[in-house]
Amino acid sequence: MRINIHFKRYLILALFFFIFSCNPSDEKKTYEYQPFSIATIEIDCPEKPQDTIYVKALALTNIPPTGSKAKMQAISDSGTYHLRLYIDRPVKSQLSLGDNRYNVILYPEDTSHISAKMTESNPILHFSGKGKKINEYYLEKKNHLGFTDIRIPLNKPVNSTSTYQLIKKTTDSIVNKTRHFFTNYLESHSLPQWFVDYEKAEIIYSGAGFKTSLPPANQALNYFEDSVPPDYYDFIEELKIDNKKAVFSTHYMWFLNDYFMIDLPKEEYQSLSGFKELFINNIYNLSGLMV
């Protein structure tokens, strides 16, 4: 049974009090939110590329709930290049090297080291530093699944011929495929426990957030004609709403945002926010926020 709007607002406040007091940890390091901390990606190019390569990076922050971008740089010669971003906790960033995209883990007040040999096709990357194992996992995941942002395959089935049940089925298939890869990877590789919790949350709540946001998104933007089935939101009953191990996950935060708005009429949300556009902008990136 879903809770009423006033109780949901109370939960939102309680959640943010909890976030600021939470300290996920592994064996050697305790991590916490550190808003506006600087993280650096160091790219070492031992050889001059044949053509100029433009590099940039971005990361999503939960506190404040926005994004951080590094200034684009042009690599036209051998040397060492630095991209700096403001982050709030250990977080997955997206690094663009020309037309190629990669995930790189960032830590507050730390440097992630990458050696990049620019070839005619894909760059050859080698990682070092404390994020080495995680970055190697991200690279293998990209090579196996073909994407660095799960929102890209999640959005593909949304078109004029879609139905709610069909999109749910496709979303679950993508999420299960991603989970299966991660489970298999852990059988032969060791990753920090905090990251295992983080990655599991990113995978699970990406699908949950996408499905939760779909009805209001379709109502606002009219992607397809279909009525929301009575049992559409049954999948939420299988989820952990108050998940302390997921607080670093942006997908978890996006899911909570959409979950708390399930029973909130569009008109009331627009009235409370004061900005009509925020209703559409708040939707789970269905409208094309492809990073």
22 shares its domain with 158 = yes
Cα distance between residue 207 and residue 180, in whole Å: 14
Name the residue among 9, 199, 178 with its Cα closest to residue 90.
Answer: 199
| pLDDT tens digits along 149-189 | 999 999 999 999 999 999 999 999 999 999 999 999 999 99
| pLDDT tens digits along 86-109 | 999 999 999 999 999 999 999 999
How confident is residue 263, by pLDDT bands cut at 50, 70 and 90? confident
93 shares its domain with 155 = no
Contacts of 267 (CB under 8 A, 6+ apart): none
Average pLDDT value over all residues in the chain: 86
160 shares its domain with 263 = yes
Residue 28: per-residue pLDDT? 55
276 shares its domain with 154 = yes
Residue 289 has pLDDT above 60, yes or no: no
257 shares its domain with 216 = yes
User: Does residue 11 or residue 207 have the better pLDDT?
Assistant: 207
43 shares its domain with 22 = no
| pLDDT tens digits along 123-148 | 999 999 999 999 999 999 999 999 99
- φ/ψ of 44, rounded to 5, equals -100, 120
Work out the widest C-alpha separation in the chain, in whole angstroms: 61
How confident is residue 31, by pLDDT bands cut at 50, 70 and 90? confident
Whether 55 is covered by a domain: the verdict is yes
**How many Cβ atoms are within 10 Å of 67's Cβ, its own excluded?**
14
64 shares its domain with 24 = no
Radius of gyration in angstroms for the set of CA atoms belonging to the chain, rounded to a whole number: 20
The average pLDDT across 235-243 equals 96
Q: Could you check whether the bond before residue 215 is cis, i.e. omega within 30 degrees of 0?
A: no
Whether 287 is covered by a domain: the verdict is no
Beta bridge partners of 44: 80, 115
180 shares its domain with 268 = yes
Two tokens at 72?
Answer: 């684009």
252 shares its domain with 118 = no
Whether 290 is covered by a domain: the verdict is no
Whether 69 is covered by a domain: the verdict is yes
Taking the model in full, what pTM does it have?
Answer: 0.84
172 shares its domain with 245 = yes
Question: Are 168 and 158 in contact, with CB atoms under 8 Å apart?
Answer: no
User: Does residue 97 or residue 15 have the better pLDDT?
Assistant: 97
Name the residue among 220, 208, 226, 221 with its Cα closest to residue 266.
Answer: 220
Residue 27: per-residue pLDDT? 47
The average pLDDT across 3-18 equals 46
DSSP string, 48-65: --SS-EEEEEEEEETTTT
Residues of the domain holding 110 = 37-131
How many structural domains are present in the chain? 2
